[in-house]
Amino acid sequence: MDHGGVGPYELGMEHCEKFEISETSVNRGPEKIRPECFELLRVLGKGGYGKVFQVRKVTGANTGKIFAMKVLKKAMIVRNAKDTAHTKAERNILEEVKHPFIVDLIYAFQTGGKLYLILEYLSGGELFMQLEREGIFMEDTACFYLAEISMALGHLHQKGIIYRDLKPENIMLNHQGHVKLTDFGLCKESIHDGTVTHTFCGTIEYMAPEILMRSGHNRAVDWWSLGALMYDMLTGAPPFTGENRKKTIDKILKCKLNLPPYLTQEARDLLKKLLKRNAASRLGAGPGDAGEVQAHPFFRHINWEELLARKVEPPFKPLLGFTYVAPSVLESVKEKFSFEPKIRSPRRFIGSPRTPVSPVKFSPGDFWARGASASTANPQTPVEYPMETSGIEQMDVTMSGEASAPLPIRQPNSGPYKKQAFPMISKRPEHLRMNL
């Protein structure tokens, strides 16, 4: 059976096993979980696989507690049995993947040919929202989130699970502001007319070259994505973006990496080691996995034991009384499902409380852009260029009229798009430098 978004070319690993999520594999107690156990409160988001609702449990255990309910046709955990010497029965896999920085799956039930997953409700929203508000993160802020994410990825890798889709939209924050990864290793089947697809849907800017090449991959893809996410946090855009999907893929496979001069030496070195097109030489690809990444000097101030215990104070805390509405819900007032790929909104810098002096030259109306064309590509073999350039490579900007940010943002100008340049300064201003 085919499953949406994940095919043999994408996994490319031997001894792959799939564990279907169902009522019997999730629910542990004697309570019979059914739709009437939950009161529907609101739509949180929607996408190609279905909708996510905010619900309240009205019967049995956890009465009155708020959860998130995700509706799918089918969902599976895909793992590489070769990577883990598991001895527990399959029904305990979901218990094995529990982690402080991974969303908890509480209940599951099936009805009408659909699977309903009841997840912990994360009131802090998407990390994407915080990036939208701030424009960029200072290095100490990025370091905190990247450290928590690295611990979650390392835990999944120990269980033989490759995340494969790390991006700001899939990184949630709990009520305290700590990271929670969603959709860990899940292979989801589309509920749209029962069809499935093996094309790349949604954001591809964070995908490793070997995924785009469809040449098979391993857990090293997650460390490339972590590097792309880090670059996004520190500069305001992923490292390789184009006017459309084909150009974005071409840049990921061929273009040189441009590192802005304001980054610290530690940040520059980590980015170069994570964003290596040769997966075998990528930081984290060795037997140490997450340990290799966490040992990098960029994380030298992190107390990993306290971080795992969530004793380190997050950079941002959700506001009291704030109601989270995901970016994807702007159009969710329509009852009809939409199965178009989600388009990333332009990022604004001006007025950001954490960036009093923007490290990027910006003119009013200028925006960073995300490649959002639905066109596909037949990528060629990636070229291993030196990962840092001596000159300044301009990034393409796409003026899309559609925005998916949760807050009102000005629509891009319809005229010719402009190109941005990093300022030619020897180092980042002192007030913007890493202040751990």
Using pLDDT thresholds of 50, 70 and 90, give the confidence band for residue 30. Answer: low
pLDDT at 202: 53
Domain membership of residue 213 (yes or no) is yes
> What is the band of 145 on the pLDDT scale with cuts at 50, 70, 90?
very high
Q: Is the pLDDT of residue 141 over 70?
A: yes
The dihedrals phi and psi of 226, each to the nearest 5 degrees, come to -65, -40
Residue owning tokens 């802090």:
124
The whole-angstrom separation of Cα 363 and Cα 102 is 39
Paired strand residues for 6? 3
* Distance of alpha carbon 298 from alpha carbon 293, whole angstroms: 9
State the sign of the Cα–Cα–Cα–Cα dihedral 202, 118, 105, 309: positive
User: Has residue 389 been placed in a domain?
Assistant: yes
Residue 174 forms part of a structural domain: yes
CB 267 within 8 A of CB 296: no
Give 218's DSSP letter: -
46 is in an annotated binding site: yes
Predicted structure pTM score? 0.66
CATH number of the domain enclosing 251: 1.10.510.10
296 versus 126: the higher-pLDDT residue is 296
pLDDT of residue 160: 82
- Residue 314 confidence (pLDDT) above 90: yes
What is the residue range of 46's domain?
1-428
What is the number of structural domains in the chain? 1
The answer to the question of residue 436 being in a domain is no
Q: At what angle do helices 265-274 and 220-235 cross, to 10 degrees?
A: 140
Residue 256 forms part of a structural domain: yes
The answer on whether 44 is annotated among ligand-binding residues is yes
The confidence band for 249, taking pLDDT boundaries of 50, 70 and 90, is very high
Residue 50 annotated as binding site: yes
Residue-wise burial string across 110-143, b where 16 or more C-beta atoms lie within 10 A, e elsewhere: eeeeebbbbbebbbbbbbbbbbbbbbbbbbebbb
Strands annotated E in 128-201: 171-173, 179-181, 186-189
What is the set of active-site residues?
165
Q: Does 272 count as an annotated binding residue?
A: no
Is 206 part of any known ligand binding site? no
Q: What tokens were used for 430? A: 């002192």
Count CB neighbours of 193 within 10 A. 6
Instruction: Report if residue 44 sits inside a domain.
Output: yes
Range scoring the smallest mean pLDDT among 218-227, 273-282, 398-407: 398-407
What is the structure's pLDDT at 28?
Answer: 59
